[in-house]
A and B are shown apart, each in its own frame.
Chain A
Amino acid sequence: MTKEPEIRDEYVADYEAFSRNGGSGVPQWFEDLRRAAISQFSATGFPTTRDERWRFTNVARLKDTKFALANGERPTLSLGEVKQHVLGAGADQCLVFLNGRYSKELSSIGGIPQGVLAGSLRDVANSGSKRVERHLAKYAKTSDSPFTALSTAFMSDGAFVYVPQNTIIGEPIQLLFLTASAGRPVVAHPRNLIVVDRNAAASVVESHIGLVDGTYWTNAVTEAVVQENARLHLYRVQREGGEASHTATTQSHQRRDSSFALTTIELGSALSRHDINAVLAGQGAECSLYGLTQIQGRQHVDHHTTIEHARPHCNSWEFFNGIYDDDSRGVFTGRIVVHPGAQQTDSKQTNNNLLLSKGARADSQPQLEIYADDVKCTHGATLGPIDEKALFYLQTRGIEAEAARNLLTYGFGVEILNRIEIAELRDQLDQLVHVRLDEGAERRRAGK
C-alpha cells in the first residue's frame, strides 16, 4: 500500500511530465489554470473521511493504486462497437471520446446545426477561442474538491458545446465517453464545457460507459453555463465497468430566467462519487436535479449536491431515488444554500432509498443553510426495505411475491426515469433497470 503523501507526489511528478509532453502546446492561460490546480491538489492531496464532505466515502481504492494517464493509450474500437451506445435521435451529433480523448473517426457530427459548436475542447482551446477562455474552469472550483483540482491540472480533452443565442436544438447532443482495454490502471480526466447562450435551448446526453472489466478511473468535470432565458437539460449516465472508479463534478451556473435540469443515472463502477453544484445566479432561474442510483454487489455511489440560491425568485427541485441490493451502499447529501437577499426562494428536496437486502446501506443528509427570511425550503427522506403492506396489496391482486417485489422496486426507478424526455434513452435505461431487477429476483430465488 502506497502512503498518501508519496502518491500525491507521484501525481505532481506526472503533472510535470504531462505539461512538458502530452499536455504541451496549449495556450498560456490554459497552462496557468493547470499549474494553479496542481498546486491546489499538492496542498490538499486526496480527501479523507475526516473531511465532513467525504464522511461516507472512502477513496482508498484511488489512493492505493497508481493510475497512469490514459492519454498515452490508443485502444482501437470499431464503429460497430460504438454504435450500440449511440441514441438514434441525434445520432449525427455524437461526439465520441475513447479513454478520455476525442476520436474524430468514431464521432458523427454531420447533424450539428450551423452556428452551434460541438467538438473537442482541446482543438477549440488550441484554436484560440475566447469563449473557452472566458468560461473554462471559472465555475468548478479546484478548492471545492481535490478531484476537480486534479481534473483541472490534467485538463487535456473533453467536449466543448456552444449553442448560440436564439438557437433551439431539437435532438440531443451526445457525448459518449468510452473506456476500452488498457493494459494497466489508467485515469482519464474528461473535461466538458457547455455554454447555452441567451434564449437558446438544448439537451445534452453525457454517457460514461466502460467496455472493460479491469481497474481504471474516470475523473470527469462538466461545467454548464446557462445564460439569460436559456434552457439546458443535461442527462448523465454512468455505466462504468465493475472494477472502475468514477469521480465527477457537474457544475452549473445559471443566469436570469434560465432553466437547467440534470437527470443523472448511476448504474456502474465499484466506486462513484458525483458532486453536483448548481448555482442560481440570476433572478427567476429554475433548476431541477433528478437522480437514480441502482446498484448491487459491493458498489458504492455518493451524490453530493449543493444548490446555491444566490438571487431572489429562484426555484429548485431535487428528487433522488436509490435502489440498493446486496452489500451496496448509497450516500446522498442535499445541501441548499440560500444567500442573503435571495428572497422568495422555493426549494424542494426529496430523497428515497430502498434497501433490498440486509447488507445494503444508505445515508441521507439534508443540509439547509438559509440566510434569507422569506423562503420556502422543504426536504424529506425515506429509507427502508420494501413496504410489506404494499407487497401484500400486490399479492392480493394476483401478483406473485418476487414479481411484486420487483414491481415496487421498479416504481422507485420509474419515478426518475419518467423525467427523461428522450424516449429512446428512457426505454434503454428502463430496460437496464429491468435486467437488474430480474437478476436480483433470480439471486433471491436461488438463495432460498
Chain B
Amino acid sequence: MLEIKNLHAAVDGVAILKGIDLTINAGEVHAIMGPNGSGKSTLAQVLAGHPAYEVTEGSVTYEGRDLLGLEPEERACAGVFLAFQYPVEIHGITNAYFLRAAINAKRKCQDLEELDPIDFMEMLEEKLDVIGWTDSLMERPVNHGFSGGEKKRNEILQMAVLEPKLAVLDETDSGLDIDALKAVADAVNKLRSPDNASLVVTHYQRLLNFIVPDFVHVLARGRIAKSGGKELALELESKGYDWIKEPAGV
C-alpha cells in the first residue's frame, strides 16, 4: 500500500528526515517510536503533505501513485488520513458542519452524491455506534474549548467517518489519561480491517498495549535505527532509547 524509499525532508533548510525506508501493506499496523526530535512527527506531516516540509530526496508511493505529487486534499481523497498531534481549533464552524464538509469532499472525488444534513446525521450515528461513543460533540465549534482528550477523540471520530485506507496517528496518545487512551485505542482497533493500514507514531510504549502493532520501528536522527515485532516496543520501554546508537544496516 505504502512504499517509502530513501525519504529525506527538511524544514526551514534543516534536514530532519535523512533516508527513511518503510513498506506498509494492507492489514498491517506499524508503530514508529523514537525520542523527541527524531523526526517522527515530521514523517507524519510529510505523508499528509504539510507545505512547510520540503522533500529533498526519495519517493513515497501510495497504491501505485506518487503521493508526494498530490495536494493534501488529494491525498485525503485517496484515503490518507492524519490524526493530528495538536488538532486545530476552528472558529464558528461546528463539528457537524465540518465533518459533513469533509465527507462530502471525499464523496465528490468518488463521484458520489453529497449527503444532506439528515443523511449525514444517520451515517454519523452509525459511526458513533461502531466506535461506541454517544457524546459526539457535534454542535460545538471544531476543537474549540475541547479538553485534550476530547480533541484526540475528535480526531478518531473523523477517522471513523472518513474511513481512510491509510491512517497516520501522530502521538494520538500524548496527554491522554488511561481511560481516554483506552477509548481511543478501542476505537482504532474497531476500525482495523484487512483492507486498511495504520501508522502509529508514539513516544510511549503504553499505547501499544492497546493498539498491538505488527511492526515496530525506532526512529533516531531522521532514520529508522531498528525494526522489529511488537516485542521491540517492550524492550524500548525497559531500556529506553539510549541503547540504539546508530542506524542499523546502513
Q: Which residues of A contact B (CB under 8 A)?
A: 352, 387-390, 392-401, 403-404, 407-408, 410-415, 418
Contacts and interface: CB of A to CB of B under 8 A. Distances in A.
Most buried by A among B71, B76, B82, B158: B76
A400 B105 contact: yes
Interface residues of B, number: 29
Interface stretch (B10-18, B87-95, B117-125, B215-223): B87-95
A400 B70 CA distance: 12
Contacts of A389: 88
B49 A396 contact: yes
Given A401-B71, A401-B73, A396 B81 contact: yes
Contacts of B73: 395-401, 404
Given A397-B105, A397-B158, A408 B49 contact: no
A352 B84 CA distance: 25
A392 B73 CA distance: 9
Interface of B: 48-51, 71-73, 75-77, 81-82, 84, 87-93, 98, 101-102, 105-106, 109, 141, 158, 162
A441 to B, nearest CB: 14
9 contacts: A393-B87, A394-B98, A395-B72, A398-B162, A400-B105, A408-B93, A411-B141, A413-B92, A418-B92
A411 B140 CA distance: 12
Contacts of A388: 51
A400 B76 CA distance: 10
A395 B71 contact: yes
A interface SS class: helix
A411 B93 contact: yes
B237 to A, nearest CB: 31
A359 to B, nearest CB: 23
B213 to A, nearest CB: 23
B92 A412 contact: yes
Given A398-B109, A398-B162, A411-B141, A390 B90 contact: yes
Contacts of A412: 91-92
Contact of B91 (A392, A403, A408): A408
Given A392-B50, A395-B73, A400-B73, A352 B88 contact: no
Given A397-B158, A399-B105, A392 B92 contact: no
B92 A411 contact: yes
Contacts of B87: 393
A407 B88 CA distance: 14
Contacts of A403: 101, 105
Nearest to B143: A393
A396 B48 contact: yes
Given A393-B88, A410-B92, 18 more contacts: A387-B88, A392-B50, A392-B51, A393-B87, A394-B90, A394-B102, A395-B49, A396-B48, A396-B49, A398-B77, A399-B73, A404-B73, A407-B93, A410-B93, A412-B91, A412-B92, A414-B93, A415-B92
A404 B142 CA distance: 14
A398 B48 CA distance: 11
Contacts of B49: 395-396
Contacts of A399: 73, 101-102, 105
Contacts of B77: 398
Contacts of A410: 92-93
A389 B141 CA distance: 16
Contacts of A398: 73, 76-77, 102, 105-106, 109, 162
Contact of B90 (A395, A400, A401, A408): A408
B101 A407 contact: yes
Contacts of B162: 397-398
A407 B109 CA distance: 19
B158 A352 contact: no
A397 B101 CA distance: 9
Contacts of B51: 388, 392
A399 to B, nearest CB: 5
Most buried by B among A396, A399, A413: A396
Contact of B92 (A395, A401, A414): A414
A78 to B, nearest CB: 37
Nearest to B45: A392
Nearest to B50: A392
Nearest to A352: B91
A393 B105 contact: no
